[in-house]
Structures are given as structure tokens and as C-alpha cells.
Amino acid sequence: MSSYLSRLATCVVVVVAASALGPRDVRAAAPPTQDQIKAWTALYDEGQRLYEQELYAAAIEKFKAANTVIEHEYCYYNIARSYEKLGAAAECVAGYQKYVDFTKQKTGADPKDIVDVRASIQKCKLQMRPEVTIGSDPVGAKVYIDSRDKLLGQTPYVTTLDPGTYSLFLDLGGYQPFEQQFEVRAGEPIKLYFKLQKLQRVGTVTVKSNVRGAAIFVDGRNIGLTPYADKIVLDEGQHQITVQKDEYLSFSRGLNVEVARDDVVVSELYLRDPPMTWKGYVGYVSLVLGAGGVGFGYFAKTKADVEFTGTDEFNKWETLQNVGYGAGGGLMGVGVLLLVLEALDTDIVKPEDALEEAGTSPRVTPFLTATPGDGAMLGADVRF
């Protein structure tokens, strides 16, 4: 009797199918040794325990280790199921397929739960990012998807995308810019191939700007952001160049493109509502101080009027009157001048947006300096 039980232990395993929410509880299907059964059981039970604790990555390692001791189709099933729980779509599909292939090789038939397995495979495929291949004739076209702000690469170009609808842009010097929408479906790799039309009569234009991050539009088509060093290839004829950025006044200019001619368009953008500069603040302060000086001069005049001409008291108040009127009037004049300059100085950009590209207008910054005993000097700092 004991001999019979020993042979049974080495040849037969207990197989218990797991519920839909958990892994399958099995023992080896091959004729293992007692040591193999013991090692396999420990690894498999540990994998099941980790699975039930939702520690799926750790459970996978235990199921794989158990499979190295005694290979069994239900180990493959539990590995695939764990990958499905982790959301690892590619590994999930490969795991279930391995389970089906191993079962068919071992038994000559599909597993009994093939319908459920196929449903799980389809579910995982729907979670996969399909591969998208983009080609062109000729090759080397710049590839943009949804946004002209970021260059992704050049054709032939391969990437993966979430299911959805996208806009594709292709640009290649000497060829007509290409734009088309395409749809990516879950679990369906796609290949896109386009023949670009060559431009026969074209010229080029380079767009420069004094502002960083402004959008360049040619005939309403978004080309990219400043600074933009590439030459833009355009058909011969009339085109509209527009440069825009939030908070700035837009720049727009018509351009007649001629064959084989290189044009340069310099766009200057300035803040729509520029903040007050030092000239405004100093101007208002000067007005207030000047008004105070004039007021003090008037006060000194009233004091001088009640004194006898030629007396020390009269001379003191008369001097103070002249100082008050003179200093106050001067400060008020400086204040008015600075406010006028502030009103005229509308060409302002944010420091973080400023670009110094060749061809832009000189920058003029007025300044006021004062030296004790020498008076004041008003000037301008001009930078090209």
C-alpha cells in the first residue's frame, strides 16, 4: 500500500481550477520527484498568496519559478492573469497565447476555457498602443503630429499612439507641405505612406522676431514658433505672414514670393498692455514733489509779504520762495517730461520673451541723471 502511494505521489498532481477572480490552484502535471513536488508546491502556494494580496508582479516571479521546476499550463495561465491585472497589455496577450499553445501541445486540444481566454486576449489587445508607421516619397520629410511646435522625426518614422484621431503634418524642402487626419484603432497597427508633390516655382522666406515663443502662420498654416531658423519654402506669388503671441499685438504682412529669391521678414511684437516703467513712477513722484515745492514757495511768499523789504526776515523768506518755486517747477517739468516719454514708450516686451535677432529695430531707453552742483541731464540709451 505504501509503495502504491509513493508511486502515486510522484506521478499524479491535484488540479484545482481557480475562480474568475483568482489564480488557478494546481500541482504538477508531469511525473516529478518528491523533492520537485515539494519545491513546486511551495513556490506555487507563495505565488497564489501574493496574487490574493494583489502583489501581482511578485506573484509572477513565483509562478515563473514554479514553472522552471514543473512546467504546467496553469502556471502560464496565472502568469497571464497577473499581467492582465497589472495592465501590461503586451505581456498579457503573450502570456495567454503561451497558455493556449502549451495546452494544445500537451493535450492536442484547446483548453476548456478557450472562450474566456480569447475574451481576455481581446481585452488586453484593446489596451495596447498600436504601432504607427509613417512613410513618404521621397523620404526625409519632417513629421509633426497634432502640433507644429514639436518635430518628432523624419520619414520613415515609427511610433505608438493611443487610439484616437490625429492630424499629421509632413514638411520637406522643395515639396508641397502635407496635412491629413488619420485614425488609430485599438489593437490595429497601421502604416501610412504619402507621395509628396514637388514645388516647381518656389522661393523661400526666413521669419525673424524680437519675441520668443510666438506662433508663425503662413496663409493661416501654423509653421512653428520663434526663433525659427529654417527657411520656409513657398509657391511663387502672394502670401500672408502672421506672427502672434498671447498678450502681444499681432504682426501681419503680405509678401510677394519670387522664384529662387530668399526673403527675410522681421516681425516686431510688443505688449498689448505694457506695464508702467520707472519713467512713469519717477514722473508721478516728481509731479507730487514739484507740487509740494511750489506750495512751499507760495507759503514763503506769504511770509515775505508781511515783512519789510530789505530786512533779514524778508530776505530769508524771499530766498525760500525762489527755491520753492524753482525746485518745484523744475521737478514738475521733469515729471511731465517723464510721463510723456512713458506714454510714447509702447515698444515693450517681457524680459523672458526678448530675442535679439539681426534686423530688429534699435532699442531706445531714456534716462535721467543728477549730479550735485551740476544739475540734471536727460538722455537716451540706444542699442541695436
Let me know: does 13 contact 49? Beta carbons within 8 Å: no
Q: What pTM, to 2 d.p., does this model score? A: 0.40
> Looking at the domain 131-195, which fold is it?
Immunoglobulin-like (2.60.40)
Residue boundaries of the structural domains of the chain: 2-127, 131-195, 278-383
Domain 2-127, classified CATH 1.10.260.40, yes or no: no
Rounded CA separation 44/267 (Å): 70
Phi-psi region of 134 (alpha: psi -120 to 50; beta: other; left: phi over 0): beta
Q: Are 328 and 291 in contact (CB under 8 A)?
A: yes
Q: What is the pLDDT of residue 28?
A: 42
Determine the pLDDT at residue 381.
54
**Would residue 275 be called left, alpha or beta, if left means φ above 0 and alpha means ψ between -120 and 50 degrees?**
beta
209, 227 contact by CB (below 8 A): yes
Beta sheet of 202-209, edge-to-edge order: 232-235, 202-209, 262-267
Note the pLDDT of residue 152. 92
Which of these, 272, 264, 268, lies nearest to 355 by C-alpha position?
268
Report the C-alpha gap between 54 and 56 in whole angstroms.
Answer: 5
State the pLDDT at residue 4.
27
pLDDT score for 342: 66
Task: Work out the burial of residue 65: count CB atoms within 10 Å of its CB; fewer than 13 is exposed, 13-18 middle, 19 or more buried.
Answer: middle
Q: Per-block average pLDDT, block size 10, for the chain (384 residues)?
A: 30 35 46 87 91 92 91 89 86 90 90 90 80 93 91 92 91 88 86 88 90 93 90 90 92 90 91 76 82 84 79 83 84 80 71 71 52 50 50
Q: What is the pLDDT of residue 17?
A: 35
Whether 56 contacts 86, CB under 8 Å: yes
Q: How far apart are alpha carbons 271 and 347 in whole angstroms? A: 7
